[in-house]
């Protein structure tokens, strides 16, 4: 079966980083719920993800999507030990800001703001970019996340030292690395498989 390529239908995609809730639309035809086998449902992990065109596109390979989703959940939701959720979300936001992924940055900047109660600082990262001064701890997290995201990566011992000077433990440093690395990958999927939708279109979808 040949995949159907969808002609881009977004005439005014978002061009500015925002914490608003926006959407995303694929350039390839996602599966429909009627197409899903038991293995596809297992790959989605959560049945609610069948409502997302992104996950319904990725579930074409259910084994990879299942592994990806479980990795995602462990990195961002397993916060019994290690880095607080807000800092993990900051790492994802910094990677997304550097990569230019407006959709991912919108999602994870909202999470970072919610969990940190530092919405103005998060917005400063979106508005001013990765050079924004967010204080020692957050500056170290942003710098490490960007260094991991760069092509080729420039992350090195100096970034670990900066994170530890800012008060992060070794386990915290691992969480920064995992959060940034995961979204370095996720951004590339989002950017190559589709495009963001304006908030008004997303709300109507």
Short-list 144, 205, 198, CA closest to 173: 144
Mean pLDDT score, 191-202: 82
The residue extents of the domains of the chain are 23-75+193-204, 82-190
pLDDT for the residue 19: 97
Question: How confident is residue 8, by pLDDT bands cut at 50, 70 and 90?
Answer: low
82-190: CATH class: mainly alpha
pLDDT for the residue 13: 83
Q: Do residues 155 and 147 lie in contact, with contact meaning Cβ atoms separated by under 8 Å?
A: yes
Which residues, 6+ apart, have CB-to-CB distance to 116 below 8 Å?
A: 86, 87, 89, 90, 122
Give CA–CA dist 29/71, Å, rounded.
25
Q: What is the pLDDT of residues 88-122, one digit of tens each?
A: 999 999 999 999 999 999 999 999 999 999 999 99
């Amino acid at each position: 079966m040949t995949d159907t390529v969808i002609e881009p239908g977004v005439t005014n995609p978002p061009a500015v980083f925002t914490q608003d809730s926006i959407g995303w639309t694929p350039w390839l035809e996602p599966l429909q719920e009627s197409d899903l086998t038991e293995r596809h449902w297992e790959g989605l992990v959560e049945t609610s993800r069948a409502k997302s065109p992104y996950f319904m596109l990725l579930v074409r390979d259910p084994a990879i999507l299942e592994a990806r989703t479980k990795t995602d959940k462990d990195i961002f939701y397993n916060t019994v030990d290690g880095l607080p959720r807000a800092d993990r979300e900051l790492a994802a936001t910094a990677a997304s800001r550097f990569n230019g992924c407006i959709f991912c940055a919108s999602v994870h900047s909202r999470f970072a703001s919610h969990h940190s109660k530092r919405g103005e600082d998060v917005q400063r990262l979106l508005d001013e970019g990765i050079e924004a001064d967010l204080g020692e701890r957050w500056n170290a997290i942003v710098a490490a996340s960007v260094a991991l995201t760069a092509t080729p990566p420039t992350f090195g011992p100096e970034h670990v030292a900066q994170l530890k000077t800012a008060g992060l433990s070794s386990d915290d440093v691992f969480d920064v690395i995992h959060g940034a690395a995961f979204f370095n990958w996720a951004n590339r999927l989002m950017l190559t498989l589709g495009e963001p939708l304006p908030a008004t279109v997303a709300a109507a979808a």
